[in-house]
């Protein structure tokens, strides 16, 4: 896999070296065991996979190259390039402006844009309607397009399903940028409906089987489907694709459930004509991070720190997995760790910030899981780790400890 040129301040001198060591030790990524950094009174446990993925590094490289190659030009980001406040704030500090917020609400008027302006499409992609609006202004929406290749893979598979007369079911959050983009591209060629979870998939299955009246479809999915969607006709042949940041296991469970529904309605022999296999659209990076997080659940630890943007879907799913076993704190970075007694963290279920006292146990050694989402720079984890170490006496030098591991690996 190719390497990308991204600003050095996103690269980590500590945790990045541990990741590089694991890559040398396990180039085929078959070993999901976490990495343990033992610093005496504090032990950090790192997931095998975390941090920037291929799509994020690709987006960062394109964005900073646009800055470098277009001095003096006005440069805009259609919306948040990725869901990480540190990265977006850094881009803004270089003079970039956002056109929309993460929910698609305008932050400026379209009339302010001129044909010679640079507009960068975020890693989540954008809708066909927005592409058309940019073209009408005279801006090529594909010239600085950072859409993740794995998102585009979902779009291509959805288009293929449309040509084969399948209805596309998108597993995703309807308000999320990526899902809005996927819906737009898919709806151009196929009837489309969005389901957010297994509960909605089960309701859709009951409608297919006639266990719920078709009128229930409009009530439950009327705002999340293509205009004129007819459940009696448009749910006879289906395929499931996903928002790439959703839990891969949940997407697969939804697909498996709906496959069983089609088998029950049409018989086992007809399932090949009624249900499309789309497992190849699941994002490898999301899968790797989630599989590595599941391996963390087999470990013993006192708490977990998950670092990332609060609007990051893939990060919230890591939190969801970890908090089933450990006291888990979802933070943007080291600033939320106010002291050894107080931490500010995000409750993504309630969508609000909370303060917790006595979050760092007094016991020694204390074992802390530290991981992040796919849009989080490794440097943020360095800073979080160093902030925690500042509250504990007698810790070993983390630089020396990392160097010892790295040197041992090269012997």
User: For residue 81, what pLDDT is reported?
Assistant: 76
Dist. CA 305–CA 19, nearest whole Å: 18
Query: What stretches of 210-277 show up as alpha helix (H) in DSSP?
Result: 215-221, 231-234, 248-266, 271-274
The pLDDT of residue 292 is above 60: yes
| Catalytic annotation present for 131 | no
Core vs surface per residue 17-53: b (16+ CB within 10 A) or e? bbbebbeeeeeeeeebebbebebeebbbbbbbbbbbb
**Are residues 356 and 372 both part of a single domain?**
yes
**Are residues 86 and 101 both part of a single domain?**
yes
* Per-residue model confidence as pLDDT tens digits over 353-392: 999 999 999 999 999 999 999 889 999 999 999 999 999 9
CATH number for the domain harbouring residue 371: 3.40.1010.20
**Are residues 48 and 60 both part of a single domain?**
no
Would residue 143 count as lying in a domain? no
Dist. CA 318–CA 372, nearest whole Å: 8
CATH number for the domain harbouring residue 101: 3.40.50.11270
Would residue 302 count as lying in a domain? yes
User: For residue 410, what pLDDT is reported?
Assistant: 46
* Per-residue model confidence as pLDDT tens digits over 329-344: 999 999 999 999 999 9
Where does a domain end: 87, 108, 137? Answer: 137
Region 77-96: mean pLDDT is 87
Kindly report the average pLDDT of the chain as a whole number.
Answer: 93
Where does a domain end: 137, 160, 179? Answer: 137
**Are residues 30 and 60 both part of a single domain?**
no
**Are residues 343 and 293 both part of a single domain?**
yes
Nearest alpha carbon to residue 251 among 122, 157, 130, 135? 157
Residue 54 token pair: 């291929």
Annotated catalytic residue, options 178, 250, 334, 336: 178
The pLDDT of residue 282 is above 80: no
**Are residues 289 and 406 both part of a single domain?**
yes
Q: How many domains does the chain have?
A: 3
* Per-residue model confidence as pLDDT tens digits over 245-269: 888 889 999 999 999 999 999 999 8
Q: Which domain holds residue 210?
A: 149-243+246-280
Would residue 225 count as lying in a domain? yes
Would residue 127 count as lying in a domain? yes
Q: What's the whole-model pTM score?
A: 0.88
**Are residues 206 and 320 both part of a single domain?**
no
**Are residues 157 and 259 both part of a single domain?**
yes
**Are residues 196 and 273 both part of a single domain?**
yes
Would residue 316 count as lying in a domain? yes
């Amino acid at each position: 896999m190719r390497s990308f040129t991204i600003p050095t301040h996103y690269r980590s001198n500590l945790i990045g070296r541990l990741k590089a060591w694991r890559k040398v030790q396990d180039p085929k990524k078959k070993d999901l065991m976490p990495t343990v950094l033992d610093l005496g009174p504090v032990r950090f446990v790192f997931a095998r996979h975390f941090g920037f993925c291929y799509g994020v590094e690709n987006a960062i490289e394109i964005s900073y190259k646009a800055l470098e190659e277009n001095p003096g030009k006005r440069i805009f980001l259609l919306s948040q390039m990725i869901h990480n406040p540190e990265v977006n704030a850094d881009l803004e500090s270089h003079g970039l402006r956002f056109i929309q917020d993460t929910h698609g609400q305008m932050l400026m008027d379209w009339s302010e844009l001129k044909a010679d302006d640079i507009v960068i499409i975020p890693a989540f992609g954008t809708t066909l309607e927005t592409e058309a609006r940019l073209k009408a202004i005279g801006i090529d929406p594909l010239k600085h397009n950072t859409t993740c290749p794995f998102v585009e893979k979902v779009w291509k598979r959805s288009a293929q399903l449309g040509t084969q007369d399948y209805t596309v079911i998108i597993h995703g959050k309807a308000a999320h940028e990526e899902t809005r983009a996927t819906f737009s591209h898919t709806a151009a060629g196929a009837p489309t409906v969005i389901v957010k979870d297994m509960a909605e998939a089960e309701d859709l299955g009951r409608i297919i089987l006639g266990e719920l009246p078709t009128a229930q479809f409009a009530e439950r999915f009327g705002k999340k489907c293509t205009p004129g969607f007819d459940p009696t006709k448009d749910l006879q042949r289906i395929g499931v694709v996903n928002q790439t940041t959703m839990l891969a296991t949940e997407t697969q469970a939804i697909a498996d459930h709906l496959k069983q529904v089609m088998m029950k309605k049409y018989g086992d022999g007809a399932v090949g004509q009624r249900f499309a296999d789309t497992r190849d659209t699941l994002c490898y990076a999301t899968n790797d991070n989630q599989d590595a997080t599941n391996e963390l659940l087999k470990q013993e630890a006192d708490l977990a720190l998950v670092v990332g943007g609060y609007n990051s879907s893939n990060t919230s799913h890591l939190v969801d997995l970890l908090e089933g076993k450990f006291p888990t704190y979802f933070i943007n970075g080291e600033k939320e760790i106010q002291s050894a007694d107080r931490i500010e963290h995000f409750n993504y279920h309630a969508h609000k910030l909370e303060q917790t006292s006595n979050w760092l146990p007094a016991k020694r050694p204390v074992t802390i899981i530290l991981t992040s989402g796919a849009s989080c720079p490794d440097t943020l984890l360095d800073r979080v780790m160093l902030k925690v170490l500042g509250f504990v006496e007698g810790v070993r030098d983390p630089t020396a400890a990392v160097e010892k591991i790295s040197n041992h690996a090269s012997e």
